[in-house]
Structure 1
Amino acid sequence: FHDNMKATVQFDGSISDSFEMKTGDRNRWCQCLHQGIKVHDRNWLQRLEEKRVCGKQAAPELPNHDTYTCNHCHRSCKSRIGLFSHMRYCKPS
């Protein structure tokens, strides 16, 4: 945790090389942590809301696919291979 904090915590807009010195001032350290937590929570809630909105949007309609119709019984098939398979057993009436 401590190594991760060194890499990510920013003081005054820049990553601090003197991490231990900055943490020595307890009041400043607590303010920085609270500000970081607020920023993180705000960003997290914003991303969560964006995901929620995307999930509630209607899915795009699929394009209408052509159906293939049997010449003998007028059965519709969704694919050419399905029509081919159907035609092998379909008897003209």
Structure 2
Amino acid sequence: MHHQLGWLGHIIRMPANRLPRKILYGQLHLGQRSAGGPKKRLKDKLKITPKKCGIKPPSLEDAAADRPSWRGLSQKGVQLAEEERRKQCLAKSQRRKLAQSAPATSGPAYTCPDCGRRCKSRIGLYSHQRTHKQ
């Protein structure tokens, strides 16, 4: 993410006649991208990354014009994005642990006669019982 923001700032500071800047700001004249979830391009990622880092699109060009402030802004934004990602991973992990430890209350539960393990479905019990066979 840090490298993408550095490259984005570099492209924004380029003269308008340079090819990378033309590609970033250009639009497709003829044709269209394929439907149903087209593949992400670098151009698409360069538009998403500043939003994740808390850099607002209207202030993007003004911020990138000054290299030292852009470097500090991008480093701070990457740290904030990384903290948010870690929080989301931790919350997801805690939800997963709660779901595993919570007893199954809805629907019929199937109990293994050998070890007493409870399975949510009959096929799950059948699959589990295969571990007891030797």
- State the TM-score, normalized to the length of structure 2: 0.36
The structure that is strand-richer by fraction is 1
- State the TM-score, normalized to the length of structure 1: 0.49
Larger radius of gyration: 1
Q: Which has the higher contact order (CA 8 A, sep 6+)?
A: 2
